[in-house]
Amino acid sequence: MQQAMDDIVKELGSEAVILNSRKIRKKGLVNLFSKPLVEVMVAYEPRKQRENLRKAPSALREAAQEAYSPYKRDFSYTEPAYTPQPAPIPVLPTPTTLPSATQPTPSLGGWPEGSVGLATAVINPGTGAAATTPGVFAPLKNEPGLISDTANKLDDIDSRIDSLDHVLNDFMNRFAHIKRDITYNFSPEIEKLVFTMCKNQVREELALSLAREAEEILKTRKDAGAYEVIYHLVLDYLGEPAPIAMKKYKQKVILFLGPTGVGKTTSLVKLASDFAINHKKKVGIINTDTYRIAAHEQLRTYADILDIPLGIAYRMEEVEAALNDMGDSDLIFIDTAGKRPGDPQHQQDISQIISCSKPEEIFLCIAAPTCFSAIREVVDTYAFAEDYKLIITKLDETRYHGMALNTVHYAKKSLAYVTIGQNVPDDLETANCEALAEQILER
C-alpha cells in the first residue's frame, strides 16, 4: 500500500483522494499462494491549463498560445539597445550686477523667493545693529518632483518615528506594570513563583492575576505558604479532568476537531484502541477527512489490526448511513478534516456533521508547542461547537507546560486527555492536573 501511495503522489500529486482500496490476488493456481496485490481507486483534479502553460518550454507555450488564445500575444521581450549619451556640459549662472547706490539695499528677508546667493553681515559693536551686504545671487531651479519626493520621504520618516514611539511607550508601560506588581507589591516567595510560571510559558497577565489572588489569601491565612496557595489556585484553574464517561446499554458518538497537524487522527486511534482492547467495547470509526491522501489508509490500517468497522463519508447522507451500519457499537469515533483557522466553509461543514451525527461528546485537539496567539485563534474558530472538551497533544515535545493552563483558562472548557508520544494506545492518558500544576511551578 505504501508503494501504491508513493506512485499516486508521484504521478497525480498530493491532492489526489483515495476513494477505495482492496486486496486482490492474481488469477490462476500458480498465484494461489502468492502475496496479494493492492488495488487502489483514486480521484484527482487535472492541473489547470495556465499551470501547464507556465511550466511548458517556450516553443510549446507559443504553440499553445496560438491554439487556445483568441488574441495573439508576444511572450518574448527584447531589451532596447543602449545608446550612450554625451555627458551634459554644466552651465553656470550669469552673475548679476550689484545693486546701485540709487536702489535700496535689500535685507536678507527681501531677496526674491527661490533665490540663492552670498551675503556678508557686519555687526556694530556699539549699537549691536547688523548691516547686510548682498552678494551674487541666481534663481534656484526646482527639479521636477524634487520637493514632492522630499516631502514624501519626510512623511515616511515621521510615520516611522511615531510607530517607534508607540512601541517604546507600550514597552515602558508593560515594564512599569511588571515592576510595580512584582517588585513592590509581592513578597519574595510570590515573586519567585510568578517568574517561574512566566518561564514555563504561562501568560503574564494570568500569572500576575494568580499572584494577586494568592497575596489576598495570604493576608488572612497566616499558616499557609505561598507555593501551597498558588498550587491550589492553578489546580482550580485547570479543573477536574473530564474523560469519556460510558453509559451502559447506550451508544456514544464522539467527534474530533482541530487544526491540521495537531494529531487528531492519532488521538482518535489511541482512544479507540484503548476502549476496544482494555475496556472490551465495540468500537466503530467514521472518517470524514477526505482531503488528505493518507488519512483513510492510516485509519484503515488500525481498523484492520483492531478488527473494527471503518466507514468513509464524502457527503452528509453517508455519515447517517455509516452510523446506521454501526448501530450495535458502544462507541463511534468520527474524524474530521483540519483546515486553516477562520475558514467559513470548514465551519459550515463541521456544523453539518454535528447536526447530522448528534455527538454526545466533542473533543478539540490543540498541540502543546502552540503559542498563545495561535491557541486563541483556534479556540475562537471552533467557538461555534460550544460544548466540547480539550485534548492537549504532543505534550512530550515541549518542557514548557504553561500552555495547558493558558488554553483551559481562555477556552473555559474542561481538560480531558493529554498525549505524551506516538505509541498506540499507550501514549494517551487522562489529564493529571496535579502533575501539570507541579510542572508549571517546577516543584
Grid coordinates of 178 = 511588571
Residue with the bigger pLDDT between 174 and 203: it is: 203
Confidence of residue 63 (pLDDT cuts 50, 70, 90): low
Residue 295, domain extent: 252-441
pLDDT exceeding 70 applies to what percent of the chain? 68
Contact indicator for 234, 207 with CB cutoff of 8 Å = no
Q: Tell me the mean pLDDT in the region 311-340.
A: 87
Residues 60 and 160 in one domain: no
Residue with the bigger pLDDT between 38 and 255: it is: 255
Residues 306 and 213 in one domain: no
Residues 326 and 362 in one domain: yes
Q: Does the residue 434 lie in any domain? A: yes
Residue 367 contacts by C-beta under 8 Å, 6 or more apart in sequence? 261, 262, 263, 392, 393, 394, 397
Mean of all residue pLDDT scores within the chain: 76
Q: Residue 424's domain is classified under what CATH number?
A: 3.40.50.300
Q: What is the pLDDT of residue 389?
A: 94
Contact indicator for 257, 264 with CB cutoff of 8 Å = yes
Q: Does the residue 138 lie in any domain? A: no
Residues 171 and 232 in one domain: no
Q: Does the residue 95 lie in any domain? A: no
Confidence of residue 24 (pLDDT cuts 50, 70, 90): confident
Q: Does the residue 213 lie in any domain? A: yes
Residues 264 and 163 in one domain: no
Residues 195 and 320 in one domain: no
Residues 318 and 369 in one domain: yes
Pairing between β-strand 428-430 and β-strand 415-419 as defined by DSSP bridges: antiparallel
Q: What is the pLDDT of residue 317?
A: 84
The answer to which of 213-222, 288-297, 391-400 has the lowest mean pLDDT is 288-297
Q: Tell me the mean pLDDT in the region 372-384.
A: 91
Structural domains of the chain, count: 4
Pairing between β-strand 130-139 and β-strand 115-123 as defined by DSSP bridges: antiparallel
In the listed set 70, 99, 128, which residue is the last one of a domain according to the structure?
70
Residues 287 and 359 in one domain: yes
Does residue 249 surpass a pLDDT of 70? yes
Residues 173 and 194 in one domain: no
Q: What is the pLDDT of residue 139?
A: 47
Q: Does the residue 145 lie in any domain? A: no
In the listed set 25, 42, 70, which residue is the last one of a domain according to the structure?
70
Q: Does the residue 206 lie in any domain? A: yes
Residues 365 and 409 in one domain: yes
Q: Tell me the mean pLDDT in the region 165-179.
A: 60
Query: Tell me, what amino acid is at 383?
Result: A
Q: Does the residue 208 lie in any domain? A: yes
Q: What is the pLDDT of residue 202?
A: 92
Residues 331 and 218 in one domain: no
Q: What is the pLDDT of residue 136?
A: 46
Confidence of residue 66 (pLDDT cuts 50, 70, 90): low
The pLDDT tens digits for 379-424 are 999 988 878 999 999 998 988 899 999 999 999 999 999 998 888 8
Q: Does the residue 220 lie in any domain? A: yes
Residues 172 and 191 in one domain: no
